[in-house]
């Protein structure tokens, strides 16, 4: 997407001095707001705003046959869409590659971190398991929809409870909820997406910054037992990243994770009782 | 039980037997086959040619349109033909990796079609596909700044290995299996494609990158030999 060249130039000139158009430094996030209970008919839901970027996630569950290679485990399906409300550039139609990529990276981060105990989603081995549908909608896009989506998905899962299920007649009573939360660990899988503009790296870009960027890399991080673990990586865009970039990114994750994530954890704890 | 020996007996930094040759699709402008053991990929390049529909053309550069396709019979349980979310994502990251080394500014308004077919799959299919595609582009005589080579680095239990096969991908003991496909440029070993699936300690990332560099150097040598016309088949 074309952005005015004057903005692009300004963005890259400022970044050389570790400055940004909105006054932040390279690795500084915009304020993060977390809400839950977006829909009372969803098994779980959340809304995350990072600056003006606004993402809503709903969880719906259903009972189905397991996959043949995981007979005693539940499943998860993550979908992501930029709603046509999200900005001028988004038109109605099936999900495009940018949203498919976000869905797949969020999926891998959650799946690989062991956040959900799949075995506990099994009702009857080989026959019936719970499937968790995570539907992500970006309703206003001002950059960094990736990290906002991952955070909103995790919060929505945190709030989710099982719907009432009658094993005899194999029927889910949608709209009636149990008090049983999903089997989750306390270890939050979240993503950090680094963008490269010219020679500079930054976190949490605005839409203009994202449009000005040459390259990006997302890392899904969880921290079981304080040891930071990478659960997913996705390098995006065409411009290469150098060894120096990677060193800087690994270093920044060490620093920024400890700066931001305790705050996010606390926010989630305050909301999700 | 820790993973002290690889299931198929390879050394931790050893690739499976490689097959590499060019010219496997006579009709294409460039083509190549690349195999890591039982994982076999072929790639065909058509173009640069005028891009239709015209509104997709870019006035100052050409584009690479990449399609990764797993043939239905390439896996144990038949894969549904046609694009899936997985294959679309692989097509995209492959296209990105290739676009980073082709001088697309020389071909304004055109498209270079890169078709990748997986004939037989035993893990690391996207890496085999990228290696074949990189060779096919060079074979087509398309101006490239550098070659790219691709390898899946794995952490199997706590061991870093290269060129992960299906048995390793499915390894569940100890720390389990983590798969990291890397694609690096031939000269500076810049990263043009990187994904990860699993659990890798942040401090071990560097070690994985070093393993990828070593393996990509070996792969590059096979690619170069094949581009000189040699038909490489280490399967005997």
Average pLDDT over residues B73-80: 84
Give the span between the Cα atoms of A264 and A163, in whole angstroms: 27
For the segment A137-151, what is each residue's pLDDT rounded down to a tens digit?
999 999 999 999 999
Tokens 């709209």 belong to which residue? Answer: A175
Could you give the ipTM of this predicted complex? Answer: 0.76
Average pLDDT over residues B211-226: 98
Helix-helix angle A145-159:A243-271, to 10 degrees: 30
pLDDT at B59: 87
Residues of B in contact with A68 (CB under 8 A): 77
pLDDT at A91: 81
The stretches of A31-123 forming alpha helices (DSSP H) are 97-113
CB contact under 8 A, B191 and A240: yes
What is the pLDDT confidence band of residue A46, given thresholds at 50, 70 and 90? very high
Q: Which among B193, B172, B226, B199 is positioned nearest to B31, based on CA atoms? A: B226
Please tell me which of the candidates B88, B96, B201 has its beta carbon nearest to residue A100.
B88
Please tell me which of the candidates A100, A237, A246 has its beta carbon nearest to residue B89.
A100
**Lowest-pLDDT choice from A105-119, A140-154, A173-187:** A173-187
What is the pLDDT confidence band of residue A2, given thresholds at 50, 70 and 90? low
Answer with the residue of higher pLDDT: A71 or A225.
A71
Mean pLDDT over all residues of chain B? Answer: 94
For residue A230, give Cα distances in angstroms to A110, A224, A238: 11, 11, 22
Give the span between the Cα atoms of A60 and A103, in whole angstroms: 16
HEC profile of A193-232: EEEEECCEEEECCCHHHHHHCCEEEEEEEECHHHCCEEEE
Three-state DSSP at A148 gives helix
**Lowest-pLDDT choice from A54-58, A90-94, B88-92:** A90-94
For residue A16, give Cα distances in angstroms to A4, A7, A9, A193, B136: 19, 15, 11, 19, 39
Is A55:A145 a contact under the CB 8 Å cutoff?
yes
Domain borders along chain A are 5-271
pLDDT at A273: 66
pLDDT at A76: 96
Q: Decide if B205 touches A, using CB distance below 8 A.
A: yes
Q: Which two tokens stand for residue B98?
A: 């290739």
For the segment A195-218, what is each residue's pLDDT rounded down to a tens digit?
999 999 999 999 999 999 999 999
Q: Quickly count: other Cβ atoms within 10 Å of residue B55's Cβ.
A: 6
> What is the pTM (predicted TM-score) of this model?
0.86
Closest residue in A to B84 (Cα) is A100
Is B18:B38 a contact under the CB 8 Å cutoff?
no
For chains A and B, count residue pairs whose Cβ atoms are closer than 8 Å.
92
The C-alpha of A219 sits at a distance from chain B's nearest C-alpha, in angstroms, of 9
The CA angle A48-A59-B170, to the nearest 5 degrees, is 105
pLDDT at B15: 98
Is residue A226 predicted with pLDDT exceeding 80? no
Average pLDDT over residues A81-85: 88
What is the pLDDT confidence band of residue A174, given thresholds at 50, 70 and 90? confident
- What percentage of chain B exceeds 90 in pLDDT? 87
What is the pLDDT confidence band of residue A3, given thresholds at 50, 70 and 90? low
Average pLDDT over residues A64-70: 93
What's the CATH class of domain A5-271?
alpha beta
Is A175:A222 a contact under the CB 8 Å cutoff?
no
CB contact under 8 A, A217 and B194: yes
Report DSSP letters for B50-116, one per residue. E-SSGGG-BTTB-EEEEEEEE-GGGSSS-PPSS--HHHHHHHHHHHHHHHTTB-GGGSTTEEEEEEE
Instruction: Tell how strand A75-82 and strand A128-140 pair up.
Output: parallel
Is residue B209 predicted with pLDDT exceeding 60? yes
For the segment B130-178, what is each residue's pLDDT rounded down to a tens digit?
999 999 999 999 999 999 999 999 999 999 999 999 999 999 999 999 9
Please tell me which of the candidates B88, B193, B199 has its beta carbon nearest to residue A112.
B199
Sign for the CA dihedral angle at B41, B47, B48, B50 comes to negative
Residue A186 contacts by C-beta under 8 Å, 6 or more apart in sequence? Answer: none
Is residue A1 predicted with pLDDT exceeding 70? no
Give the span between the Cα atoms of A191 and A230, in whole angstroms: 9
Say which DSSP state A90 is in: -
What's the CATH class of domain B18-226?
alpha beta
């Amino acid at each position: 997407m074309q952005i005015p060249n004057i903005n692009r130039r300004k963005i890259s000139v400022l970044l050389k001095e570790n400055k940004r158009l909105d006054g932040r430094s390279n690795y500084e996030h915009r304020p993060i707001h977390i809400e839950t209970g977006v829909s009372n008919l969803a098994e779980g839901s959340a809304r995350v705003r990072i600056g003006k970027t606004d993402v809503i996630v709903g969880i719906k569950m259903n009972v189905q046959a397991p996959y043949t290679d995981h007979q005693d485990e539940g499943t998860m399906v993550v979908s992501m869409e930029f709603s046509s409300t999200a900005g001028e550039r988004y038109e109605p139609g099936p999900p495009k590659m940018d949203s498919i990529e976000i869905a797949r990276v969020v999926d891998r981060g959650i799946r690989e971190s062991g956040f959900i105990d799949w075995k506990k989603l099994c009702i009857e081995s080989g026959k019936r398991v719970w499937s968790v549908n995570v539907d992500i909608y970006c309703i206003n896009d001002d950059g960094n929809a990736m990290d906002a989506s991952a955070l909103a998905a995790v919060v929505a899962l945190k709030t989710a409870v099982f719907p009432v299920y009658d094993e005899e007649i194999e029927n889910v009573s949608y709209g009636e909820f149990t008090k049983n939360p999903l089997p989750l660990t306390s270890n939050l899988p979240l993503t950090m997406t680094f963008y490269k503009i010219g020679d500079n790296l930054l976190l949490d870009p605005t839409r203009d910054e994202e449009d000005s960027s040459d390259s990006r890399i997302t890392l899904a991080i969880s921290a079981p037992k304080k040891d930071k673990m990478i659960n997913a990586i996705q390098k995006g865009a065409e411009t290469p990243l150098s060894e120096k970039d990677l060193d800087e990114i690994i270093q920044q994750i060490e620093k920024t994770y400890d700066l931001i994530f305790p705050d996010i954890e606390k926010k989630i704890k305050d909301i999700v009782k | 039980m820790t993973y002290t020996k690889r299931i198929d007996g390879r050394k931790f930094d050893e690739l499976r037997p490689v097959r590499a040759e060019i010219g496997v699709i006579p009709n294409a402008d460039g083509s190549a086959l690349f195999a890591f053991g039982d994982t076999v990929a072929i790639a065909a390049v058509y173009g640069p040619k005028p891009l239709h529909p015209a509104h997709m053309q870019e006035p100052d550069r050409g584009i690479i349109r990449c399609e990764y396709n797993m043939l239905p019979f390439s896996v144990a349980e038949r894969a549904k033909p046609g694009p899936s979310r997985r294959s679309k994502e692989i097509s995209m990251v492959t296209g990105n990796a290739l676009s980073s080394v082709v001088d697309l500014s020389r071909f304004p308004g055109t498209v270079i079609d890169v078709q990748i077919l997986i004939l037989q799959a035993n893990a690391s299919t996207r890496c085999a596909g990228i290696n074949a595609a990189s060779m096919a582009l060079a074979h087509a005589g398309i101006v490239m700044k550098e070659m790219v080579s691709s390898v899946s680095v794995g952490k199997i239990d706590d061991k870093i290995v290269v060129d992960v096969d299906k048995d390793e991908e499915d390894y569940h003991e100890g720390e389990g299996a983590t798969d990291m496909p890397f694609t690096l440029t031939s000269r500076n070993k810049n990263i043009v494609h990187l994904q990860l699936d699993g659990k890798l300690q942040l401090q071990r990332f560097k070690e994985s990158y070093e393993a990828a560099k070593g393996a990509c150097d070996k792969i590059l040598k096979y690619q170069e030999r094949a581009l000189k016309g040699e038909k490489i088949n280490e399967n005997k």
